[in-house]
Structure 1
Amino acid sequence: MVMKWDVFLEQVQERGEYPTRQEADRAARVVLALLGAHLVGSVRAELAARLPETCALVLLNPLPAAEPLGPDRFVRATAAWIEGATEQTAKWDVSAVLSVVADAADEELMGRVLLQLPPGYDLLFGHPQTNG
């Protein structure tokens, strides 16, 4: 069963320790838009299918990435999109959102998601790769 948007946001808010749901919503939308720009084809579609409709729409209609961003640049890009964010707070935002995304996906799908991303994203999703 697909997670509901308010449940998704509640989990992001809890993991990110955001004082308001609005802050969790903003982080979720920015991180999902950036993530969607890095995923293609069936992997992006399958991941979107496991997320609430609001998440799926953001994930499936991203701004195309000019180049794949490594994890550090992904965090910096997130910081640039969130008003008042620093690299430290953006890393927190990214991890809060991506760990909830990882929970919505199964291990096999997460493996395929990570194959489409530059090395190092496993830590942002909270799924360190033991074999890599």
Structure 2
Amino acid sequence: MAYDEFLMTVTELGGYSEREDAARVTEAVISTLGDRLPPEIAEHVADQLPAPVDELIEGANSTPQNWGVQEFVHRVAEITGDHEEQAEEHSRAVLTAVAAQVTGGELNKLISDLPTGYAELFGHPELS
């Protein structure tokens, strides 16, 4: 999937009226995800995402953070300047688009590396 298609998916999932809004929240959510993941998992996920989304996740922190869902959402809210409720919706839209791009096995590894609750953000509560 090309970047434009990825943004179209995020736009539809998030109900954004402007492509720029989808790009802005995608950057916030993906870079935050990259900070949360160990580099080897981030690299595997990035391999399945279109440029420049792949670069956002790979270019993140080399020392993964250990945040739960609430802190993840809080950090997205800080970046976007939105309330945490809106940041959670942004996260759901972007991470559901990511889940649609990542193979099943890689998605399982990704979600199993994260604490409970992240599976719902990826649109797969059954993987919790």
Aligned-partner residue type, residue 113 of structure 2: Q
2:59 and 2:39 mapped to 1: Cα distance? 12
Residue 43 (structure 1) shift = 2.1
1:91 and 1:65 mapped to 2: Cα distance? 24
2:64 and 2:114 mapped to 1: Cα distance? 14
Aligned-partner residue type, residue 121 of structure 2: L
Q: Does 1:91 align with 2:71?
A: no
Q: What is residue 121 of structure 2 aligned with on the other side?
A: 124
Aligned-partner residue type, residue 102 of structure 1: A
Q: Which moved more, 1:62-71 or 1:33-42?
A: 62-71
Q: Deviations over 1:58-115 (max 9, x none)?
A: 00001456731101111111111102x1111101100000000000012211110012
Q: What is residue 110 of structure 1 aligned with on the other side?
A: 107
Q: What is residue 76 of structure 1 aligned with on the other side?
A: 74
CA separation of 1:82 and 1:115: change in aligned 2, threshold 3 A: same
Q: Does 1:42 align with 2:40?
A: yes
**How many residue pairs align between the two structures?**
128
Residue 20 (structure 1) shift = 0.3
The equivalent position to 1:54 in structure 2, one of 52, 55, 58, is 52
Give the secondary structure class of the aligned counterpart of 2:49. coil
TM-score normalised according to structure 2 size = 0.93
Q: What is residue 18 of structure 1 aligned with on the other side?
A: 16
Give the fraction of aligned pairs with identical amino acids, expressed as a percent.
Answer: 30
Root-mean-square deviation (Å): 1.5
CA separation of 1:110 and 1:18: change in aligned 2, threshold 3 A: same
Give the secondary structure class of the aligned counterpart of 1:53. coil
Q: What is residue 31 of structure 2 aligned with on the other side?
A: 33
Q: Can you give the 5+ residue segments of structure 2 that lack an aligned partner in the other structure?
A: none
2:43 and 2:64 mapped to 1: Cα distance? 20
Aligned-partner residue type, residue 90 of structure 2: D
Give the secondary structure class of the aligned counterpart of 1:129. helix
